[in-house]
Chain A
Amino acid sequence: MICYLFLEPSYLFFSPDVPALLYYAQIPGTIFALILSFYIFWNGKDLLLNRLVLAIATFFSLWTLTTLIAWTNINADFISFVWSFFNVILSIIAILCVYFIYAFLKKEVSIKHKIFFLAFLAPVMLLAPTYFNVSGFDIASCDAFNFESFALKTYSSSLGFFAMLWILGLLIQAYRKSEPIFKKQIILMGLGIELFLFSFFGMEFVATYFTRIGILPDSQIELYGLFGMVIFMIYISILMVRFGAFNSKLIATQALVWGIVALIGSQFFFIKQSINFILNGIGFSATIILGQYLIKSVKREIEQKEELAKLNADLKEVIEQRESLVHLVTHKVKGSFTRSKYIFAGLLDGTFGPISDDVKKYAQQGLESDNTGIATVDLVLNADNLQKGNIKYDMKPINFREVVEKIIEEKKIPAEAKNLKFESEIKDGVYSMSGDPIWLKEAINNLVENSIRYTKEGSVKVLLSDGDKKIHFSVKDTGVGITDEDKKNLFTQGGRGKESVKINVDSTGYGLYSVKLIIEAHGGKTWAESEGPGKGSTFFVELPTTE
Chain B
Amino acid sequence: MRKILNFREHVFSYTLAALFIFIVTVSYHRFMISRDYLVGYESECDPLAQSCFTGCEDDKCSEIYYYAHAIKYARDLHTQCGSDITDCEAARVCFPEETRCSITFCEPKEADCESITPGSTTEDEEINLKGLDLGQQILSENNL
Mark A residues whose CB is within 8 Å of B.
Answer: 1-2, 4, 51, 55, 76-78, 80-81, 84-85, 88, 92, 99, 111, 114-115, 117-118, 121, 125-126, 128-129, 131, 134-140, 146-147
Q: Which residues of A contact B15 (CB under 8 A)?
A: 118
Assembled-state Cα–Cα distance A140/B42 (Å): 6
Which chain B residue lies CB-closest to A81?
A: B31
- Whether, in the assembled complex, B64 has its beta carbon less than 8 Å from a beta carbon of chain A, the answer is no
- State whether B16 touches A118 (Cβ < 8 A): yes
Q: A81-B32, A92-B16, A111-B8 are in contact. Are A139 and B86 (CB under 8 A)?
A: no
Q: How far is the CA of A260 from the CA of B13 in the complex (A)?
A: 31
Count CB-based A-B contacts (< 8 Å): 92
B interface residue numbers (CB < 8 A to A): 8, 11-13, 15-16, 19-20, 23-24, 26-28, 30-32, 35, 37-42, 71, 74, 77-78, 83-86
Check A140–B27 contact: CB distance below 8 A: no
Contact B78 A1 (CB under 8 A): yes
Q: Is the interface of A mostly helix, strand, loop or mixed?
A: helix
Q: Are A136 and B37 in contact (CB under 8 A)?
A: yes
Residues B74 and A4 in contact, CB atoms below 8 Å apart: no
Q: Which residues of A contact B84 (CB under 8 A)?
A: 2, 4
Q: Which residues of B contact A2 (CB under 8 A)?
A: 83-84
Most chain A beta carbons < 10 A, residue from B8, B39, B84, B86 = B39
Bound state CA distance, A2 and B15, in angstroms?
A: 35
Q: With A2-B83, A84-B27 given, is the CB distance from A140 to B41 under 8 Å? A: yes
Contacts of B19 in A (CB 8 A): 121, 125-126
DSSP majority for the B interface? helix
Pair B85/A129 contact, Cβ less than 8 Å? no
25 pairs of residues in contact across A and B, judged by CB atoms under 8 Å: A1-B35, A1-B78, A2-B83, A76-B39, A77-B74, A81-B27, A84-B31, A88-B23, A92-B16, A99-B12, A114-B11, A118-B11, A118-B16, A121-B16, A126-B19, A128-B23, A129-B23, A129-B27, A129-B30, A134-B37, A136-B37, A137-B39, A137-B74, A138-B41, A147-B37
Q: Which residues of A contact B27 (CB under 8 A)?
A: 81, 84-85, 128-129
Contacts of B30 in A (CB 8 A): 81, 84, 129
**Which of B8, B16, B38, B78 is close to A137, meaning CB atoms less than 8 Å apart?**
B38
Cβ-defined contact, A146 with B8, below 8 A: no
